[in-house]
Chains A and B, each alone.
Chain A
Amino acid sequence: MSLGADVVLSESPTSGPPLPDEIAHRRRSPFALGVRRYLRNWLAVVGGVVLIAFLVTAFILPLFMHLDPYGVDLSHARQAPGHGHLLGTDGTGRDVFARLVYGGRVSIGVGLAAATLSILIGATLGAVAGTFAGWTDMVIMRAADIFLSFPPIVVVIVLAGIFGPSVWMLIVALGVFTWPTSSRVVRGVVVTMREREFVQAARAVGAGRIWLITRHLLPAALSQIVVIFTLTVANCLLQEAGLSFLGLGVVPPTPSWGNLLHDAQSITVINSMPWLWVPPGVAVALMVLSVNFVGDGLRDAVDPRQR
């Protein structure tokens, strides 16, 4: 925190008006200000900590701990937690904790992949709509309206019904039907930036549209894109869980948080084997909640006027 110490020194009372040099010293970079705003939002901080804990558990813990999510052991099926199984065993004697950890990998992986695809499509189309304006803009934004109001779950029902469920289809469907949010945001930024002097200057010296988009307009929208990415990850995690719960997403035996809950549709499991449905449900809810808090915190940090 050497920066903090400098600031305190410069804020100490001095006689007379501050020198220009001093003002510059007192100013922090927009990034540092953003970090301060983020850290002041305790929900966002807690969300960030929980998020990191989840990522460590899902991706790093299995490197140090032997976990077998596929080992069937029928003689120890449906065991309550304890006896060497932290969260008990499922209907075929597989370790619930191992499946939860590996399921987290799959669910988080699907969420990240789908959100990345969504942002790639959305940012590109949004930038194109904003730069080209006119007819192109109208068609893209009309399409965005329609895509946005198609519930991804329905799209996946149709695709899974026709071609059978698969992880790749899930990722593509979620990506393709969540892009409008980011395209709207990027288009908004591009439209306000389009007439700025630095863009006009670039255009005057002969920059083409592709150059303008990639070098000037998209970087300007970057902080907003990060925010939308976070919120899209949360949305995709929820959608994956819902679809896998319905048996239309990740196909067993590959575990995912959603399909672990698929087996909890029977009354017997709900009633007498809570270790099978409580942990994956809580995992999804906590994960999505913390990603949402991080997203909200980032949004306020990036643009304090919105709250």
Chain B
Amino acid sequence: MGSFLVRRIAAMIVAFLLITVIIFWLVHLAPGDPVSRLIPIDEYNAGTPAFLAHKRHELGLDQPLIVQYFRWFGDAIQGNLGYSVSDGRPVSSLIAERISPTLELMGLSLLLGIVVALPLGMLAAVRKNRLSDYLATLVSMITISTPTFFVGIIAIYFFSLKLQLLPSSGMSDPQDGSTSDLLRHLVMPVVVLGLATAGQLTRYVRSSVLSELSSEYVRTALAKGMPMWQVLIKHVLRNALIPIITVIAIFLPGLLGGAVVVEQIFAWPGMGQLAVTAVTRQDNAVIIAFALLVSILVLLSNLLADLLYAVVDPRVVLK
């Protein structure tokens, strides 16, 4: 286990370095003056050509590419990610205030997804090839196939515009900071992203439970006279959860991808909205920071999946 962990982390660091090289190279190819994203935009706009040339030298942009890379990398891991072109603030503080709304949205949606998918997937597996299985499969297929933004627009149309029950945008109403107001803002984004997650998870739960149901221990437990629901909860679910937990860990970056779209529809002030706005404003410093963060999330969730697999299943010996 120890040596497995060391090797996986080593491989992860190599992958991360490769990704940073690719990001750096892409940024190097990008049009526009790199100085503009490394100093606050007011200074850049006010700067004389001599000042900018001086800055260019000071930032090491006249150095060989490899030197520039190490300089950039060193700055980035210390949290110095440059300045946003659109409002001149340091990117690190922009990102810092956007992370928690995104994590809140992702966490609650994942929770909702699991709460819906577990019983639905189990039901579909137990009633295999019966009406309830077909219905569960059909519903999950529909939620997988309908684009999240379309579901979001439909939700806004009915719940915000026609019924006027829920607010269509933002995290809270500035005039009303009460808990119920916060909750009302949460409902639609979380439900839309949560249902999309549930649709995908249900299929995994179904196939995972299905493969456990054909095991010997299920037949033994039933033969002993144990009721089906007890067999399901006490034995089948525990074993079926092993692959499901791994899948959830790998899902995390995809969930962030979904959050990007949902944040855009409901004007949720998270990282995805920040990134999409950055694209429309050609704010490269923000985009680079976003790319780095997502890469870290991808690598960590892969590692997490490997580790969880060993932790939840004592039969797995990692070597």
Contact = CB atoms under 8 A, between A and B. Distances in A.
Q: Do A and B come from one complex?
A: yes
Interface of A: 43, 142, 145-146, 148-154, 157-163, 165, 234, 238, 241-242, 245-248, 258, 261, 264-265, 267, 270-271, 274, 277, 281, 284-285, 288-289, 292-293, 296
Contact of A142 (B11, B138, B148, B161): B11
Contacts, number: 135
Given A242-B149, A248-B279, A151 B253 contact: yes
A260 B23 CA distance: 31
Interface stretch (B44-52, B53-61, B260-268): B260-268
B275 to A, nearest CB: 5
Contacts of A293: 141
B13 interface: no
B26 interface: yes
Given A158-B290, A161-B279, A293-B141, A149 B250 contact: yes
Interface string B143-178: 011111110011011000100000010000000000
Contact of A245 (B30, B149, B278): B149
B36 interface: no
A52 to B, nearest CB: 17
A288 B275 CA distance: 27
20 contacts: A145-B302, A149-B252, A151-B257, A151-B260, A151-B294, A153-B257, A154-B257, A154-B294, A157-B275, A158-B26, A158-B290, A161-B282, A161-B283, A163-B31, A165-B279, A274-B157, A281-B147, A281-B154, A284-B150, A288-B146
Q: Which of B250, B278, B298 has the most CB of A within 10 A?
A: B298
Given A158-B26, A264-B153, A281-B153, A149 B264 contact: no
Interface residues of B, number: 53
B145 A289 contact: yes
Contact of B291 (A158, A267, A284): A158
B148 A160 contact: no
A271 B157 contact: yes
Nearest to B299: A146
B301 interface: yes
B150 A154 contact: no
B254 A238 contact: no
B6 interface: no
B209 to A, nearest CB: 14
Q: Which of A161, A247, A293 has the most CB of B within 10 A?
A: A161
Contacts of B280: 247
Contacts of B193: none
A285 B146 contact: yes
A9 B123 CA distance: 43
A242 B147 contact: yes
A154 B250 CA distance: 15
Contacts of B278: 161
